[in-house]
Copies of this chain bind each other. A is one copy, B any other.
Amino acid sequence: MTQDAARALRAFVAEREWAQFHSAENLAKSISIEAGELLQCFQWGSEADPDEVAAELADVLTYCLLLADRLEMDVEQIVLDKLAVTATKYPVEKSRGRSDRYTEL
């Protein structure tokens, strides 16, 4: 994320004095809760209202940013770090065009 969203979220939380509720555990619960609401857009099929998806995806991202902020993690960095790990588990030649887990490649 650019710092804009993170900064806006920090200000939003600060003026409401909500940091007291944002333990890492509560934020992890919140990410699961919002992920369920996002999934609800697809509960009975593959088609979903783009506006609803955007609003629910935003909620998941918001709690992810708050958790990263709480744990002083750089979202950009952890995504790139994990991608490097995943790349070693899924070599291009073995995983191309396959959705199998690396344990079954």
**A29-B39, A58-B81 as given contacts; A44 in contact with B5, CB under 8 Å:** no
Scoring A24, A29, A41 by chain B CB atoms within 10 A of each residue's CB, the highest score goes to: A29
The size class of the interface chain A forms with chain B is: 35 or more
**Once the chains bind, are B83 and A9 in contact (CB under 8 Å)?**
yes
Q: How far is the CA of A48 from the CA of B57 in the complex (A)?
A: 25
Please, which residues of chain B bring their CB within 8 A of the CB of A20? 97
Q: How far is the CA of A90 from the CA of B87 in the complex (A)?
A: 33
Residues 32-60 of A contacting B (Cβ, < 8 Å): 32-46, 48, 50, 53-55, 57-60
Q: How far is the CA of A17 from the CA of B67 in the complex (A)?
A: 31
Please, which residues of chain B bring their CB within 8 A of the CB of A8? 79-80, 83
**Once the chains bind, are A18 and B79 in contact (CB under 8 Å)?**
no
Residues 66-90 of A contacting B (Cβ, < 8 Å): 67-68, 71, 73, 75-76, 78-83, 85-87, 90
3 closest Cβ pairs, A-B complex: A36-B36, A58-B82, A35-B35
